[in-house]
Structure 1
């Protein structure tokens, strides 16, 4: 005997089969997270490197660095390092996307009835999760060496959200580069470029101690905006006593990642659709 399904049930079945970028992205993020768990050394060495930078600048050079407006250098340094950590590891995202494309894994995903944004979104979610873990470890390490926030839970939560928001925007840059440039030379180039971008900021020193033109460049760095906003929200010394960034750091830290995402998310989606082995 043949059973006839009602139109409502059929429509519901069709809705279940429709591509869902978020659901598919979460599934792919689970796959990427398993790879990170099986090969955790990249995250471990990245954390060790960041901790080394904190100890070196905080205890080796920190005694010689004076902040405009005064304040403890460790309290100034730690939020900056949290922001810098959101920039470091960008080449890992790039490499992972490039390797999946080279090995044909991306082509297998392309053959499935899923949205074109799902693969990139899955990588972004997985990397954002590992970044959140790294940030938590660094914050715990900061507490152990004397750093502490002086504001309430709401401000601290906003600071953490802004830090991860910066990471989210930068991930789309890494995904776009990974889908566009797949040679080892491209990865090396990104690793080299990350350093001047990270250091030409207010992570380690205040922009007010730099030559005028260099200070302006440092203030307009997205990493500087997030670092200054995090310091302000954590209640730490900002090293900014005047200027636009001193008064609008939270706004700048909110807008910069939005701009980066708005530029590189569509570019990443286009690069994925045009991808060929």
Structure 2
């Protein structure tokens, strides 16, 4: 990897961070929503939803919300790329003597850094609603690393989709549909009690693997729920499945995003 490529990527990441600093309202909104969900599910549903075996719902839901928040890179990447594409920013960046990969990579890295900072208040609110890290520090750091990997992966997907739709309005409409991915996962409810076909869909949803892996690494997994009898392979090997999903998705969307960036901005 050349020094110029690293410098270009760092410059693009710095651009995104400065952009975020100039738009504190957007940061406040993106950070406030996960915190509100944590408080809502923790206090409203946490004391009313009963899980099999008397397991605490807060213990189950909080890691799921961490994973849902990390997957938000799909939305932020999509909206940012669509805005830059419509305003001609990507066209100007393309005219500069830099690697085509540096622009989406810098954006993804900046998003990961912002998410890493945002995890701190999320963890604090999780503790406030009664959730606890039951595993050791090494496993907790591994869980945080996995969440950041999910953010990095979804940021690339979002960048590609944002350039594909080409407008903020279309990106916003498409972003609203991503909530279905959350509902079709085990972030909020266990998959074991779902009908057969729906359970299969949920268990093979990549977000379910990350969610289950996060619960396992934080020590919040409830035995017999995500890994119930007959569970799919991603549920019984969630960490391996999450790493595999990231490898596959990055292998697909990194070259797609780079090619789309070069082609779209050349119009």
Shared fold per TM-score greater than 0.5: yes
Q: Deviations over 1:89-138 (max 9, x none)?
A: 53332222222222222222212211110111111111111111222220
TM-score (norm 2): 0.91
Partners of 2:16 and 2:193 lie apart in 1 by 42
Compute the displacement of 1:144 (Å): 2.2
Q: Deviations over 1:2-43 (max 9, x none)?
A: xxxxxxxxxxxxxxxx77322211111101101101102122
5 Å-filtered alignment, 1:37-76, equals: 37-76=21-60
Q: Which has the larger displacement, 71-80 or 42-51?
A: 42-51
Matched with 1:107 is 91
- Give yes or no for the alignment of 1:257 onto 2:246: yes
Structure 2, unaligned runs of 5 or more: none
Q: Which has the larger displacement, 93-102 or 155-164?
A: 93-102
Compute the displacement of 1:188 (Å): 2.8
Compute the displacement of 1:255 (Å): 1.0
Matched with 1:10 is none
2:167 counterpart (170, 183, 188): 183
- Give yes or no for the alignment of 1:226 onto 2:210: yes
Compute the displacement of 1:47 (Å): 1.9
Matched with 2:107 is 123
Q: Is the 8 A contact 2:133 2:140 kept in 1?
A: yes
Q: Is the 8 A contact 2:134 2:220 kept in 1?
A: yes
| Structure 2 residue matching 1:64: 3-state secondary structure | coil
Q: Is the 8 A contact 1:71 1:237 kept in 2?
A: no
- Give yes or no for the alignment of 1:273 onto 2:262: yes
Q: Is the 8 A contact 2:86 2:168 kept in 1?
A: no
Q: Deviations over 1:23-81 (max 9, x none)?
A: 21111110110110110212211222112222222222233323345421111111100
Q: Do the aligned partners of residues 86 and 106 (structure 1) sit closer, same or farther apart at CA in structure 2, a change above 3 Å counting?
A: same
Partners of 2:72 and 2:52 lie apart in 1 by 27
Root mean square deviation of aligned Cα: 1.9
Matched with 1:237 is 221
Matched with 1:13 is none
Q: Is the 8 A contact 2:39 2:129 kept in 1?
A: no
Q: Do the aligned partners of residues 179 and 61 (structure 1) sit closer, same or farther apart at CA in structure 2, a change above 3 Å counting?
A: same
Q: Is the 8 A contact 2:14 2:110 kept in 1?
A: yes
Q: Deviations over 1:183-210 (max 9, x none)?
A: 2442133222211101111111100121
- Give yes or no for the alignment of 1:215 onto 2:204: no
Compute the displacement of 1:216 (Å): 1.2
Q: Deviations over 1:156-190 (max 9, x none)?
A: 11111111111111111111012221124421332
Partners of 2:64 and 2:81 lie apart in 1 by 28
Matched with 1:24 is 8
Partners of 1:213 and 1:64 lie apart in 2 by 28
Q: Do the aligned partners of residues 104 and 245 (structure 1) sit closer, same or farther apart at CA in structure 2, a change above 3 Å counting?
A: closer
TM-score (norm 1): 0.88
Q: Is the 8 A contact 2:67 2:210 kept in 1?
A: yes
Partners of 2:257 and 2:18 lie apart in 1 by 23
Partners of 1:52 and 1:100 lie apart in 2 by 29
Q: Which has the larger displacement, 83-92 or 107-116?
A: 83-92
Structure 1, unaligned runs of 5 or more: 1-17
